[in-house]
Amino acid sequence: MSKDYYQILGIDKSAPKDEIKKAFRTLAHKYHPDKKTGDDAKFKEINEAYSILSDDKKRQQYDTYGSTGASNGFQGGGNGAGGFGDFDFSQFTQGGQGGGFEFDFGDIFSSAFGGGRRSQPKRGRDISIDIELTFDEVVFGVERTVLLNKVSKCDNCAGSGAEKGSELQTCGTCNGRGQIREIKKTFFGQFETSSTCEICHGTGKVPKNKCHVCYGQGILKKESEIKVKIPAGIENGEMIRLSGGGEAVSGGQTGDLYIKIYVKKHPVFRKDGVNLIMDLNVKLTDALLGGEANVSTLDGNIKVKIPEGLTHGEVLRVKGKGVPFEKNRRGDILIKIHLLIPKKLSKEARKLTEQLQKEGL
């Protein structure tokens, strides 16, 4: 049954690439197996959907033929396993020269003939974690050290699987070729295929004496300290990708570490790009006559001049006290004014206010 990849990612069929990528990251973070809300089956389904929809060619094939067409190259009727039955190949032309559907038979038969695209190298699992930061740390940036219990390269053998000083000898599984050959039967006959040897990981050599720490695997599960540099001005909910910070795999590439940032609320400030916004209550007399106000910033206390005739909702700007950006440059503090109107007046204050009213103020 054809899967609805658009429904899996929760997007429209007309969604652009950036929207597809955003939806994938959100769902992958939610359903990652290492999370409390993780779901291994759902995570694999999300990855499958993204691998198809993020590739223009696969997406076009999927939109035309469904999920089977996207994964296999085409979808047609067959009479039995591996057969094509009455399928009419005259409908298709390689390169679109015959006026029929454009189709690339190289994608279909590359594995059978041993050619075409190279097999993807093995890759370790990605890891996703959350980090909570204070408002000050987000504004100025910070370096954090996280402790992860994950599969990593063995420190004793540096991932080689060999004991220090051990000689290398020819792999007995692949006889030093690094590849395992296999005869496969297909509709077109017998074909020879090759795959990377799992014992020597394609090198053709294995250690004579295996590492006593990882027992020749080159990897093992251990606690690892990873330093993460958080840039100044990062947004709440933003994701940082640390290449090679994920789990290791024998004879393959280490996965990545994804770090999602959560920011604690500040009692005074809220962030708007490179600027910091705050509210300031000002007495009516100070708004009319002018004055000064003590303001606590992330750099310490400062005095802000209150100009005469200040109105409710007006914004005062303190330059260079906001979020750092570029080289030695910072945003500003924007102070939004709120006038304090007294609910009760003394007799003297009321007389003075009435006098102002008579003067039309």
Of the listed ranges 86-90, 134-138, 247-251, the one predicted with least confidence: 86-90
* pLDDT single digits (tens) 223-244: 989 999 999 999 999 999 999 9
Are the CB atoms for 226 and 242 separated by under 8 Å? yes
According to DSSP, the residues that pair with 181 across neighbouring strands are 194
End-to-end, the C-alpha distance of the chain in Å comes to: 77
Q: Which two tokens stand for residue 164?
A: 């220090």
Write down all domains in the chain, each with its CATH number in brackets.
1-75 (1.10.287.110), 270-358 (2.60.260.20)
- Of residues 285 and 361, more confidence is placed in 285
Range from 29-38, 206-215, 348-357 that averages highest in pLDDT: 206-215
CA-angle at 70, arms to 66 and 72, nearest 5°: 115
Give the confidence band of 186 by pLDDT, cuts at 50, 70, 90: low
Identify whether the C-beta of residue 154 lies closer than 8 Å to the C-beta of residue 210: no
Task: Tell me the C-alpha distance between 232 and 329, whole Å.
Answer: 12
Whether pLDDT at 166 is above 60: yes
Residue 74 has pLDDT above 50, yes or no: no
For the segment 126-141, the average pLDDT, to the nearest whole number, is: 94
Q: Which pLDDT value is given to residue 120? A: 61
pLDDT of residue 179: 86
| Range from 104-113, 329-338, 350-359 carrying the lowest mean pLDDT | 104-113
Q: How many Å apart are CA 121 and CA 160, to the nearest integer? A: 17
**pLDDT digit string (tens) for 267-317?**
999 999 999 999 999 988 888 889 999 999 999 999 999 998 889 999 999
Tell me the mean pLDDT in the region 44-72. Answer: 79
What's the Rg (C-alpha) of the chain? 33
Does the pLDDT of residue 335 top 90, yes or no?
Answer: yes
Q: Is the pTM of this model over 0.75?
A: no
Q: What is the pLDDT of residue 2?
A: 67
Instruction: List the beta bridge partners of residue 143.
Output: 229
Determine the pLDDT at residue 76: 38
pLDDT at 189: 65
Q: Is 307 helix (H, G, I), strand (E, B) or coil?
A: coil
Rounded to 5 degrees, what are φ and ψ at 10?
70, 40
Above 80 in pLDDT, residue 70? no
Alpha-carbon distance 29 to 32, whole Å? 6
What does the alpha-carbon distance between residue 46 and residue 187 come to, in Å, rounded to a whole number? 33
The tokens for 139 are: 């504004």
